A and B are shown apart, each in its own frame.
Chain A
């Protein structure tokens, strides 16, 4: 307890005393509280607190150990991405939105790009290989995102082994991303009209060996957690929200599927050719944090199935185009790996600099000015690891988005914090929020 903390402000408040908790000071606090002779305490948890999943601020009203009111304070990671996108071209927009929900960058890119493609009316012209690569990357991303959800969820209840395991496997997925896109995060790889470039040599073998490895590793999570009495004691019955509650609050994703309702946009409103893959929608029937954990674990299996099918299809699509044939939309630059890293391919440079003035003009216009998108609005949601992620894309016919609004599932689902944690213990608030798996980059955008 400190009264001279520079950041704590005054101790004179309208309602009761202010304690600044810095650790090692529980005796002083309990003594101070005993003097107050009031049971009700308001606790600010966060925004800098390791168990609140990023810069989430929780305002908890406690009576003893019981939470009587829980409210979220968000906005600490607001970076104005939506506004920024209005001053960049349609293609550059991908670079911004990939940074929103930083654990599922490919989903941010995909929903935005699908909206732009619908406005351009080229949905059916996107080449098959680009569609399959999108699905492949999204499903790998779903695995890595669920791994982080399980890992951090375990860490927050003290199961550090779960965390080290989760991050160990996630690293393998990020290695695949690095191999395919060149970056571990913030890829900007899915572009209007297709994807940025073709699969590199040897990627399919790496993906196959990853799938084989994960088939051994995922059962380790099941063996460690599924019937673990401590794990179950912390998770079962915590953060309960049944189907009626989920529908009223519009929750989607693993939270909804843990109530037993098989709602998955990949099945109900397929996009990017998901109707061509064999997989099952995973559900659980307990509507609690344990059920959400089991749904995520099972979904990683399903994602592995889809990755395998996508890899098989890609094996037969070698050399196929990955960008729409319309030269007025497709990115003109052809990338290749040189001795100093990745850059424009020498063939392309030779063509625009030495052979064709028109090609140079075309390259310059498309890269600097971009393409025009017909006026209108579109909303194409995708099933992100956290639920329905959608981009409301509005164009006024210009080369830049007039307005892009992201319906982020973390933002939406966090509204359930109150109903999930009120009436429970303080420690269960952490479990309830971890079971929603919010990513603050997506919440605050």
Chain B
């Protein structure tokens, strides 16, 4: 979204192959094994038990480029004034989009600054989406907020994580009333509890539905598909290239 293309230019350095070791927490979130599709090793025979790490774009250091720095400066100053020190964790700039990782206990204070600070004015919360990284130990659930500023015509992304053992994230409905249904959907699909939400009930699945369907460990194939004695395994147990 940025006119300045400088974040784009840094993309090659951030691509997983070129990062020697993840500097921050955004590191390895899984392992890919299989016959094909494992790059970075000399073995092309396909029989070597190929294993490669799944890494997401690594955090970057300042300058972030373009207006990203202005937003980061204003956010840091604003949160400090609001009494939150070190609210910002890792900052990821990838493909011209910026993601701020926020500690979950600071989330409400941070979004309040983002909405109210005249230099930020992210008055538009486009939505909330959950992502489940089962192998990102201790931070299995990521809750992603897409914020927009109509005043400045900017977009940013906030990311908050919660462990599987304690899937709680504070609700932002006090700041963005429109996050109401989005948080209900994330609860419904992932089982993330949004503390402070006034009516956190299921929204898409039936009220008495067991489990949270979009979690990666949710069992598939509840209804066996049979054809002439053979049965079709659920999609996550079929042979795949991934």
Interface residues of A in 209-250 (CB under 8 A from B): 247-250
Taken together as a complex, chains A and B put the C-alpha atoms of A89 and B204 apart, in Å, by 25
Contact B181 A407 (CB under 8 A): no
Are A376 and B32 touching (Cβ within 8 A)? no
A-B contact count (CB 8 A): 124
In the bound assembly, the distance between CA atoms of A74 and B185 in angstroms comes to 11
The verdict on A250 contacting B125 (CB below 8 Å), with A376-B57, A376-B95 known, is yes
Q: Tell me whether B178 and A398 are in contact (CB under 8 A).
A: no
B232: min CB distance to chain A, Å:
13
Residue of A nearest to B56 (CB): A375
Chain B neighbourhood of A392, CB < 8 A: 127, 129, 144, 146
Decide: A398 near B32, CB < 8 A? Known: A74-B204, A75-B205: yes
- Of the 9-residue stretches A48-56, A77-85, A290-298, which lies at the interface with chain B? A77-85
Q: Is A343 an interface residue (CB 8 A)?
A: no
How many Å from the CB of A89 to the closest CB on chain B?
Answer: 9
Interface bin, chain A = 35 or more
Q: With contacts A412-B178, A415-B180 known, is A390 near B146, CB below 8 A?
A: yes
* B144-194 contacts to A (CB < 8 Å): 144, 146, 150, 153, 155, 157, 176-178, 180-182, 185
Binds B, one of A16-24, A179-187, A377-385: A377-385
Q: Which residue of B29, B94, B96 has the most chain A CB atoms within 10 A of its CB atom? A: B94
Contact B37 A378 (CB under 8 A): no
- Report A56 CB to chain B, min CB distance, Å: 13
Please measure, in the bound complex, the distance between the C-alpha atom of A399 and the C-alpha atom of B39, giving whole angstroms: 13
* Contact yes or no, A407 B126, CB < 8 A: yes
Answer yes or no: B64 CB below 8 A from chain A CBs.
no
Verify A405–B127 contact, CB threshold 8 A. yes
Residues on A with beta carbons closer than 8 Å to the beta carbon of B37: 369, 372, 398-399
B178: chain A residues within 8 A (beta carbon): 248-251, 412, 415
Report the nearest A residue to B124, measured CB to CB. A250
Instruction: Please indicate the chain A residues that have their CB under 8 angstroms from the CB of B129 in the complex.
Output: 392, 403, 405, 407
Per DSSP, are chain A's interface residues mostly helix, strand or loop, or mixed? Answer: mixed
Q: Are A80 and B213 in contact (CB under 8 A)?
A: yes
Binary CB contact string for chain B from 114 to 140 against chain A (1 if under 8 A, 0 otherwise) = 000000000111110111100000000
Binary B-proximity of A370-409 (CB < 8 A = 1, otherwise 0): 1010111111010000001010101011111011010100
A219 to B240, CA, bound (A): 55
- Inter-subunit contact B206/A75 (CB<8 Å): yes
Number of interface residues of B (CB under 8 A): 52
In the bound complex, do residue B204 and residue A444 qualify as a contact, i.e. CB atoms below 8 Å apart? yes
Q: B21 within 8 Å of A by Cβ?
A: no
Q: Are A375 and B126 in contact (CB under 8 A)?
A: no
| Inter-subunit contact A396/B144 (CB<8 Å) | no
A78 adjacent to B146 (CB under 8 Å): no
Chain B residues contacting A445 (CB-CB under 8 Å) are 204
In the complex, A392 Cα to B241 Cα: how many Å? 23
Contact of B155 among A118, A251, A379 (CB under 8 A): A379
Q: Does B23 contact A (CB under 8 A)?
A: no
Residues of B close to A368: CB separation below 8 A: 241
Closest to B131 in A: A403
Tell whether, in the assembled complex, residue B205 and residue A412 are in contact, meaning their CB atoms are under 8 Å apart: no
* A121 close to B127 (CB less than 8 A): no
The proximity string for B residues 219-242 relative to A, scoring 1 for CB distances below 8 Å and 0 otherwise, is: 000000000000000011000111
- Is A334 positioned at the interface, with any CB of B under 8 Å from its CB? no
CB neighbours (8 Å) of A411 from chain B are: 181, 185
Nearest-neighbor residue (CB-CB) of A119 within chain B: B95
Bound CA span A396–B28, Å: 10
Provide the residues of chain B in CB contact with A26, threshold 8 Å: none
Residues of A within 8 A of B241 (CB): 368-370, 399
B203 at the interface (CB under 8 A from A): yes
In chain B between 27 and 67, which residues have their CB closer than 8 angstroms to a CB of chain A? 29-30, 32, 36-37, 54-57
Is B79 at the interface (CB under 8 A from chain A)?
Answer: no
Known A74-B204, A392-B146; further 13 A-B contacts with Cβ < 8 A: A269-B1, A372-B37, A376-B56, A376-B57, A377-B131, A379-B126, A379-B155, A379-B157, A399-B37, A400-B240, A403-B132, A407-B129, A415-B180
